[in-house]
Structure 1
């Protein structure tokens, strides 16, 4: 059994370890970015990692790292995922979005612009514009689920992948730091409701893969679980994976105890879509 586990790990790690091609780095806004956060030095960028053309499936995913809407975990929740996705023939577009500083429109406008940018370059990057998903971890999971539940047209994703996501903005259940940075400490009740994304699910919400740890003490597991229940209630295909340990913020780090299982779970879901 141990040998079988090691062989599986080696197979999965071979996919993760494949070096992604050198990314295309692009500023998201060529002129003045909309919805100022008060910091002109905080710029939005995307890092585009394309798979080898011969293995490209046409699928792409925009990745939103977490960081409580105060900073970004650009590596283990962002760029380090590129090899995994590229090995599956999926283009990985890592988004460096601006911090909201209480103006929730700032990261939303960046994420929507990233979705539109990918679709506008679909032909050049060998991407199917109808198969562009979004992924996010922690606060990045809140941003990704916001795009999945609120955005329309070219900004709407085809699917969503969420790791230990912040979903609700309701005090007492939300991750308070993410709440305060996203919409301010004195947020309006209406905004708290509108951006509690479990309340925004409809039958048109895209399919979801959700992963979290049962022992997460930073973001209550109820966030991701309640989102899954609303997806289920609205007949939206979804897959929920609750790992027994790991806490919060593991991303693609191999020291996460359930790393191999998690990668296999995600791979299986992506391949059957």
Structure 2
């Protein structure tokens, strides 16, 4: 066998061993029916669980909420594609397929809160520390993640949050209109807009945060993430904010994002800092 063939065989063996070391499976989030019913009976909430090799598991887990304007879900580059990144750090990744709200805000929020509870209920079986369960979200998924981080009761409150180019506010002049209308309705009450403008609900109990976005994002204004960071700072919540010069919106874990490597290194450093 030539050297080239030997190297190829070794690479394939290493890949197969790595894949076999990682466990992944899908779970129906509400096997006995959802706590909050959706107007779309065919829309079901699920999680796909990606567990690292047991010997490398750190006990940390993160529930991942893809974006999509509360209209659809970018399940790959903002969801499943993140699993190897976290698993390689010994972190369990739980990708949430949450239901669309159709103007009923409690539908996706109840799904995200239940996903956190699900991880904690299965902590022993999944080699997870129930006090080290975070939440991550991109775009509208970032709104969902920050909503849980600022509103949830203790059993569903995450221990840390990771937000990529997040929708934070529901105020009409700064919010992403599609996310606003799909979550609250196009004629939303001011009370609801205030209630789900998450920068207004930061407290000292809000979990630490990593926030990353692009300066030239024209879809979700950078003011969303920046204002959230300011409120975290004002309330003495540990947080880090990374604003990249370009990249626009929706880059997720794509290699095509110009600052992909820098973003991953900064996220790794942050995750190792606590």
Q: TM-score range by the shorter chain?
A: over 0.9
Match of residue 149 from structure 1: 150
The structure with the largest alpha-carbon Rg is 2
Match of residue 160 from structure 1: 161
Within a 5 Å distance, the mapping from 1:168-247 to structure 2 comes to 168-247=169-248
Q: Does 1:57 align with 2:58?
A: yes
Q: Spell out, residue by residue over 1:12-69, the C-alpha distance to the aligned partner (whole angstroms, 9 max, x if none).
A: xx9xx98983421000001221322211110000000000000000000000000000
Q: Within 2, Cα distance between the matches of 1:37 and 1:219? A: 26
Q: Spell out, residue by residue over 1:98-137, the C-alpha distance to the aligned partner (whole angstroms, 9 max, x if none).
A: 0000000000000000000000000000000000000000
- TM-score after normalising by structure 2: 0.92
Match of residue 253 from structure 2: 252
Q: Spell out, residue by residue over 1:186-234, the C-alpha distance to the aligned partner (whole angstroms, 9 max, x if none).
A: 1111110010000000011000000000000000000000000000000
Judge conservation of contact 2:21–2:53 (CA < 8 Å) in 1: no
Judge conservation of contact 1:18–1:84 (CA < 8 Å) in 2: no
Q: CA deviation at 1:79?
A: 0.4
Q: Does 1:126 align with 2:127?
A: yes
Runs of 4+ in 1 over 6 A off after TM superposition: 17-20
What is the RMSD computed on CA atoms of the aligned residues?
Answer: 1.4
Q: Within 1, Cα distance between the matches of 2:19 and 2:41? A: 36
Q: Within 2, Cα distance between the matches of 1:20 and 1:247? A: 36
Q: Does 1:43 align with 2:44?
A: yes
Match of residue 5 from structure 1: none
Q: Within 1, Cα distance between the matches of 2:251 and 2:140? A: 14
Q: Within 2, Cα distance between the matches of 1:222 and 1:243? A: 14
Q: How many residues align?
A: 258
